Chain A
Amino acid sequence: MSGQNYSSTDDAALVKAARRGDLGAFEELVFRHRDQIYARAFSMTRHEEDAVDLSQEAWIKGWQRLGQFQGESSFTTWMTRICINLCLDHLRRQKKYRADSIEELNDESGGVERQMPVVTVNPTAGLERAELRQKIDGALGQLSAEHRTVLVLHEFEDLDYKEIAKTVGCSMGTVMSRLFYARRKMAALLADLRKEK
């Protein structure tokens, strides 16, 4: 397959060729999905250079582990999981991420999410998609790594509570608490952004 034009080849065939050692097929996979993997790394780290490095590292790990890919999920889902795990390791190394108990997190946030007034108007109603993305992105940047990670895994990766707990290494109660805080904080931040507008 080497030396071919891969643009019309589907992911499954590219993965198969790459598993046989075809680096050209793997390059095509990188080309197709590099933005998605980078976006996930950025949404978790909020740091452009780190996100580039981590997404590259994810692709290298992906190549090394191609033999383990069983095709139970899509190739991009599988690659995204590799990327997420690398990002979590990176955040832990940087001590930006703590697999803390609910109590410690409540200390961190002061249990403030329980006191925040409910945002009665949908703060994102009527926004264009691009503008909405920009606002969500800005609000995500103001969350802590712990809260952002849980929110990203739940909303963008569609993981359930149990899967998130397993991925980040904490209890389901902690996942629920972090997700609740993250959502309430996002609602408040988006409402503020709407007022500013």
Chain B
Amino acid sequence: MSTEPQLKLQAFLDGELPEREAREILAWTQRDSAAAGLLAELRNTRAAMAKSGPHLSLPESREFFWSKIEREIRRLEPGEKATPEISFFAALRRLLLPAGALAALAVAGLVLHFHGSKPVADNLADADATSVETTLASTDATTYRDASEGTTLVWFSPAADASPVPDKKPTAIN
């Protein structure tokens, strides 16, 4: 008997064959005594194994065995518990934080890109300009720029006061 039919016989015993092939193997074992004998041997061995799963006792006391495990766990994770369960919202937050940071970086990059790529003429015109920027009232800041002197002044005002008139000393940035 060659290898392939022998392995098919075994696959039949283990229920690994499709139905049609299983019927063919069954018919073969009914007409071939050698196949029937081999199938019986394989079946006996399998049954003997099934009845005798290894049942061994650990050759160490509970305390001794556990002490080594506990020591290693404490060494590996000092003061920490096992991998904690992560709630759905915590997982979502973990996902969104880096995504939000990336989006902010992308926006900042775009702003810089477009600002930096203004036409040269515009940049030259800006160089001599003096400007006062009143930001939105909610941001509470007013900026004065003098390009010729290379000076920038920023006023910070209380939120309730939207007036560009400074109520504090301005901060000079050169």
Contacts and interface: CB of A to CB of B under 8 A. Distances in A.
Interface of A: 18-23, 26-27, 30-31, 34-35, 38-40, 42-43, 48, 52, 55-56, 59-60, 63-68, 111, 114, 118-120, 122-124, 129, 132-133, 135-137, 151, 154-156, 160-161, 176-177, 179-180, 183-184, 186-187, 190
A119 B136 CA distance: 94
A20 B48 CA distance: 42
Given A67-B84, A176-B10, A39 B46 contact: no
Contacts of B57: 35, 38
Interface centre among B16, B49, B51, B57 (most CB of A within 10 A): B49
Contacts of B44: 119, 122-124, 187
B97 interface: no
B94 to A, nearest CB: 14
9 contacts: A35-B55, A35-B56, A40-B54, A60-B69, A118-B41, A119-B44, A122-B48, A124-B47, A183-B42
Given A161-B14, A176-B7, A190 B84 contact: no
B45 interface: yes
Contacts of B11: 161, 176
A184 B39 CA distance: 11
Given A64-B83, A114-B3, A120-B37, A137 B54 contact: yes
Contact of B50 (A18, A31, A55, A155): A155
Contacts of B52: 129, 132-133, 135-137
Interface of B is mostly: helix
B14 A154 contact: yes
Main secondary structure of the interface of A (DSSP, over half): helix
A118 B59 contact: no
B76 A60 contact: yes
Contacts of A59: 69
Contacts of B122: none
Contact of B65 (A56, A118, A135): A56
Contacts of B2: 114
B107 interface: no
A86 to B, nearest CB: 14
B73 interface: yes
A133 B81 contact: no
Interface string B53-79: 111111110100110111011001100
Interface string B24-40: 00000000001001101
Contact of B53 (A19, A118, A119, A156): A156
